[in-house]
Amino acid sequence: MKIAVCVKQVPSSEARVQLAADGKSVALADAEMVVNPYDEFAVEEALRIKEARGGGEVIVVSVGPESAQAEVRKCLAMGADRGIVVQDPALLGGDGLSTARILAAVLAELQPDLVLCGKLTIDVESDLVAVGLAELLGLPHAALVTHIEWTGERTLRARREIEGGREVVELGLPALISVEKGINEPRYASLKGIMAAKRKPIEVARPDLPAERVGPGAAGVRVVAVAPPPERTGGRKFAGEAEVIVSQVVELLRSEAKVL
């Protein structure tokens, strides 16, 4: 089975990011870059499927700057077999749909049996790529999946976390699944994995896509402003008898904070 996993290089959630001078983006400067955590769940799931079946191929596909190869290499160190990156600056800088079109061009050629994605990337959180990609490739899609159970060689049941409950859906391959936290606990790369990753191939793909379909010019959605969250204001302290305070707090939660 050929499994493609889409991964993105993102700043670590602990990185201190600052507003860039243009007011529309963030300056990453020296931020520590990592594999998007949800994509890491997808890589782990792909490796587990391959291991359980005793064979197959796991291919990591990434769209991003040249430095994103380091994140692809991390996935290879976990055990993925090879990588494909799209790093042509002319193709980058678009919106989520633009990224989905680039990935679709790569995957259309690759013809994987299963495509795994993270449910979102923690940098822009547009939640567009997985669903856009499934649409462009014409694949059945299950989102927010926390468990995959194989019911046959090419059929599976996916458990989805939905508001207030769970839903189980059945899909046949080829399919696209976007995974949610909780599906697995990603492994740490082993030393042997790190050594082996050096020798695994990373191919630079150059999909032929017209400028009006991808890149900044094709973006249907443009970011016009980015602002830091409002500074936290000091809390309020209540003193006195517990019974009195509790009713005061409840009243204020209702009238001021309006959360009750």
Partner 1 sequence: MVTNFDLTEEQQAVRDTVRRFARERIAPIAAERDRTGEFPRETIQELAEMGILGIGFPEEDGGSGGDTLSYILAVEELSRVDGSHGITLAAHCSLGVWPIHAFGTPEQKARYMPKLCSGEYLSSFGLTEPDAGSDAGGTRTTAVLDGDEWVLNGAKQFITNASYSGVLVITAKTERTASGSRGISAFLVETDAPGFELGKKEDKLGLRASDTRALSFQDCRIPKDALLGELHRGFPLFMKTLDGGRISIAALALGIGQSALDAAVPYSMQRRQFGQPICEFEMIQSHLAEMQTEITAARHLTYHAARLKDAGRRHTLESAMAKYYAATVTMKATTLAIQILGGYGYTKDYPVERYFRDAKLCEIGEGTSEIQKIVIARELVKLYA
Nearest approach in angstroms of CB 196 to partner 1 is 10
What does the DSSP 8-state code read for residue 205? -
Question: In whole angstroms, how large is the CA radius of gyration of the chain?
Answer: 22
Contacts for 181 with CB less than 8 Å, ≥ 6 apart: 37, 38, 41, 146
Q: Can residue 236 be called a binding residue for partner 1 (CB under 8 A)?
A: no
Long-range interactions of 227-232: CB distance < 8 A, separation 24+: 227/19, 228/19
> x-or-dash pattern for partner 1, window 69-98, by CB under 8 A?
-x--xx--x---------------------
Q: Can residue 171 be called a binding residue for partner 1 (CB under 8 A)?
A: no
CA-to-CA distance for 222 and 96, rounded, in angstroms?
Answer: 11
In 3D space, the residue among 214, 114, 202 whose CA is nearest the CA of residue 154 turns out to be 114
Q: Can residue 119 be called a binding residue for partner 1 (CB under 8 A)?
A: no
Of 90-98, 104-112, 159-167, 189-197, the window that binds partner 1 (rule: CB under 8 A) is 189-197
Query: Is the torsion defined by CA of 28, 33, 35, 37 positive or negative?
Result: negative
Nearest approach in angstroms of CB 34 to partner 1 is 9
Pick from 16, 24, 53, 192: which binds partner 1 (CB under 8 A)? 192
Pick from 15, 28, 31, 194: which binds partner 1 (CB under 8 A)? 194
Q: Can residue 197 be called a binding residue for partner 1 (CB under 8 A)?
A: yes
Pick from 21, 198, 212, 256: which binds partner 1 (CB under 8 A)? 198
- Backbone phi and psi for residue 4, each to the nearest 5 degrees, phi listed first: -105, 135
Q: Can residue 195 be called a binding residue for partner 1 (CB under 8 A)?
A: yes
**Given the rule CB under 8 A, which residues bind partner 1?**
70, 73-74, 77, 188-192, 194-195, 197-198
